[in-house]
């Protein structure tokens, strides 16, 4: 008995539990326990307001933290909860006493226990030195209609939030309809004194020809200077609402270790098509749905993204109804993306590598990398709002018919000439993607 008592005393001394409780409005409760190498699992018991007990056994850690998270508990600011934590060690079990906690209004999660925070931005201002700001009209890989600019009407911080807001190009006094249809666009006019960043597809200098128009929308896109290889990325954001708006929270490789896209990979935390109604076949796919995807393959024609794609319906309401927390958890063995703790995508690293899983032929560009190549290198975080393009399939039903046609040389003009339909769905800053904070944590 003395030996057992001594062992229990030693355990209590060695593993003094520190539990952090966070309330995330409107109904989210999060508990965090710092890791110890001997911990094998953690059981959380939470009881709000004398209601039914909620239990959760967590069997894996993320970046030195064991986490309980329920985004939709029946609680509100000012409520009391009681909680208890049980930690399962190699040598035994440690059980805390019941504790009480009063939930208080949302505070941004503090920097997490035992993490190496590489980058965090709470957007008290827009620190341009932390980002690469895209300034180009090239249209991306899906032939979108925006020109990305470095202008305060499209990229700005206010009230602790960062706004990426699309606007009409003709809102700029230098551009009217006549110039849009018959003039020239020197993109450096929009670059805040900086350079044009992408010259492909006449991205730096455009002329309106063949009845088409210059890029009819200005918008914003930024890439962090910071990069991580494994760890977590967390972005709390409110996505836009409005026809043909395409917000994205995603990552591309810093060094392009294995070559051009998609050979070096792409990690999409969140993409959405923000039409209020969009139906493809039997699936509703508008602003009620967000998607996460990994892109990988030896060339664009062999991109196996469909093997690593996930979607999540909101259930009630839509994803533009408020702020939601998008999170990437990434290590050599798995990639997981969640929103408010709900899983969008989970990919276990294939046992025979991505090359083997993809069934590719020829020379393996990832042969010199890890089993999880191309996702074994440093990636940077990207935030942007695109408009139109091939991401909106022609064969789907929308609240208004898609105004442009695949293969047409006048796609931008076809889009612009129907602005009476879609512009009425853009309501000021509700058409912007609004970022509350971003955090990048190196594992």
Residues 90 and 135 reside in one and the same domain = no
Number of domains in the chain: 2
- The pLDDT, as a whole number, for residue 2 is 34
pLDDT tier at 1, thresholds 50, 70, 90: very low
Question: What contacts 97, CB < 8 A, 6 or more positions away?
Answer: 84
Q: Are residues 135 and 81 in the same domain?
A: no
Domain presence at residue 176: yes
Same domain, 91 and 148: no
pLDDT bracket for residue 32 (50, 70, 90): confident
Instruction: Compute the mean pLDDT over every residue in the chain, rounded to the nearest whole number.
Output: 91
Counted residue by residue, the chain has a size of 443
Residues 184, 239, single domain; the answer is yes
Of 88, 114, 140, which residue is a domain's last? 114
For residue 50, pLDDT over 70 is answered with yes
**Does residue 306 share a domain with residue 197?**
yes
Position 65 in a domain? yes
> Residue 101 maps to which CATH number?
2.60.40.2140
Among the residue ranges 34-43, 130-139, 214-223, 372-381, the one predicted with the least confidence is 34-43
How many angstroms separate the Cα of 329 from the Cα of each of 32, 61, 264, 316?
16, 10, 19, 26
Residues 249 and 338 in one domain: yes
pLDDT exceeds 70 at position 320: yes
The band of 92, judged by pLDDT with boundaries at 50, 70 and 90, is confident
Domain that holds residue 54: 16-114
- Return the percentage of the chain with pLDDT > 70, whole number: 93
Last residue of a domain, one of 85, 114, 143: 114
Quick one: pLDDT at residue 5? Answer: 37
User: Strand 221-228 vs strand 266-271: parallel, antiparallel, or unpaired?
Assistant: unpaired
| Cβ contact 82:99 at 8 Å | yes
Where does 183-331 have alpha helices with state H?
A: none
**Distance, CA of 276 to CA of 318 (rounded, Å):** 9
**Cβ neighbours of residue 343 under 8 Å, at least 6 residues apart?**
310, 312, 336, 337
Q: 5 lies in a domain?
A: no
58 assigned to some structural domain:
yes
Q: Which is it for strands 245-253 and 433-442: parallel, antiparallel or unpaired?
A: unpaired
Let me know if residue 1 belongs to a domain.
no
Work out the percent of the chain whose per-residue pLDDT is above 90.
76
Q: Is 266 a catalytic residue?
A: yes
Measuring CA to CA, which residue among 115, 113, 62, 65 is closest to residue 85?
A: 65
- Let me know whether 72 and 181 are in one domain: no
* pTM reported for the whole predicted model: 0.77
Question: Does residue 92 sit in the same domain as residue 25?
Answer: yes
For 217-281, strand residue ranges (E) read 217-219, 221-228, 231-238, 245-253, 266-271, 278-280
Q: Which of 60, 132, 77 is nearest to 348 (CA)?
A: 60
Which residue is associated with the tokens 């492909």?
Answer: 200
Q: Which of 13-17, 56-60, 414-418, 426-430 has the lowest mean pLDDT?
A: 13-17
Q: Which two tokens stand for residue 277?
A: 């109604």
Instruction: List the one residue out of 249, 252, 441, 236 whose CA is nearest residue 329.
Output: 441
Residue from 24, 67, 94, 271 carrying the catalytic annotation: 271
The residue annotated as part of the active site, out of 24, 266, 329, 414, is 266
Residue 123 resides in a domain: no
Domain edge (last residue) among 114, 137, 152: 114
Q: Do 243 and 269 fall within a single domain? A: yes
CATH of the domain at 163: 2.60.120.200
């Amino acid at each position: 008995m003395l030996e057992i008592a001594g062992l229990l005393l030693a355990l209590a001394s060695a593993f003094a539990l520190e539990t952090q409780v966070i309330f995330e409005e409107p109904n989210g409760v999060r508990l965090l326990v710092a890791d110890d190498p001997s911990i094998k699992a953690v059981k959380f018991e939470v009881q709000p307001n004398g209601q039914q007990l909620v239990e959760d056994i967590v069997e894996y850690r993320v970046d030195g933290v064991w986490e309980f998270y329920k985004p939709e508990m029946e609680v509100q600011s000012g409520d009391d909860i009681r909680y208890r934590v049980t930690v399962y060690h190699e040598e035994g079990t440690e059980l805390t006493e019941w504790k009480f906690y009063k939930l208080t209004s949302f505070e941004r999660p503090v920097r997490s226990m035992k993490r190496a925070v590489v980058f965090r931005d709470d957007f008290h201002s827009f620190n341009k030195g932390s980002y690469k700001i895209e300034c180009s009209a090239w249209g991306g890989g899906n032939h979108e209609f925006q020109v990305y600019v470095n202008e305060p009407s499209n990229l700005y911080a206010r009230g602790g939030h960062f706004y990426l807001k699309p606007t009409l190009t003709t809102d700029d006094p230098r551009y009217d309809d006549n110039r849009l249809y018959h003039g020239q666009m020197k993109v450096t006019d929009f670059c805040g004194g900086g350079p044009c960043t992408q010259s492909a597809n006449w991205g730096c200098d455009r002329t309106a020809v063949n009845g088409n128009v210059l890029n009819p929308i200005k918008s914003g896109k930024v890439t962090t200077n910071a990069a991580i290889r494994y760890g977590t990325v967390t972005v709390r954001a409110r996505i836009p609402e409005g026809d043909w708006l395409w917000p994205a929270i995603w990552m591309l490789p810093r060094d392009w270790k294995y070559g051009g896209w998609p050979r070096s990979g792409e990690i999409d935390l969140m993409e959405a098509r923000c039409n209020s109604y969009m139906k493809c076949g039997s699936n509703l796919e508008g602003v009620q749905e967000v998607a996460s995807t990994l892109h990988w393959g030896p060339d664009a024609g062999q991109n196996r993204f469909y093997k690593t794609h996930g979607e999540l319906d909101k259930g009630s309401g839509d994803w533009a109804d408020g702020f939601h927390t998008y999170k990437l958890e990434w290590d050599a063995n798995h990639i997981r993306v969640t929103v408010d703790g709900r899983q969008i995508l989970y990919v276990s690293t294939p046992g025979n590598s991505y090359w083997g899983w993809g069934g590719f032929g020829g020379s393996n560009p990832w042969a010199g990398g890890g089993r999880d190549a191309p996702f074994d290198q440093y990636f940077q975080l990207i935030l942007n709002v695109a408009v139109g393009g091939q991401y909106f399939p022609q064969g789907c039903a929308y609240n208004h018919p898609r105004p442009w046609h695949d293969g047409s040389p006048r796609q931008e003009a076809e889009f612009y000439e129907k602005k009476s339909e879609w512009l009425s769905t853009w309501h000021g800053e509700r058409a912007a993607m609004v970022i509350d904070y971003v955090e990048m944590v190196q594992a």
